[in-house]
Amino acid sequence: MPRYFLNLRDRGTLIEDPEGDEAQDIAEILRIAQATIDDIFGRPETYGDMRRWNRFSFEITDEAGELVLTVPFAGNGNGVG
C-alpha cells in the first residue's frame, strides 16, 4: 500500500512528517488529512487559538517526495473563518 506524508506548512516553514500514513489512494489520504484537521479544530484546549491554524496547510507528498496534494486548513468546514 502506498505511503503518503502529511507535511505541515506554516507560511515559510515546512514541518516534515517523518512516518507518513498508508493509504489506498489520494482520496483516502485526503480523508485522513481532513480528519486530522477536524481533530485539531475540535480540540482548542489542546491545540490553542484556532484562528492561527487557518494559515496552515498540509503538503502531502508520496514516497518519492513528490507533492501530490495541498490541503489548506482554512475553509475546510472547521467553522473558523
Which single residue is written with the C-alpha cell 489512494?
Answer: 25
Residue 81 lies in a domain: no
Contact assessment for residue 24 and residue 36, using Cβ atoms and an 8 Å cutoff: no
**Structurally, how many domains does the chain consist of?**
1
Residue 23 lies in a domain: yes
| Averages of pLDDT over each 10 residues, the chain, 81 residues | 96 95 97 94 86 91 97 70 39
Residue 13 lies in a domain: yes
Residue 18 lies in a domain: yes
Residue 80 lies in a domain: no
For residues 33 and 6, what is the distance between their CA atoms, to the nearest angstrom? Answer: 7
Can you give the pLDDT at residue 62?
A: 97
Residue 77 lies in a domain: no
Which residues constitute the domain of residue 61?
3-72
Can you give the pLDDT at residue 80?
A: 45
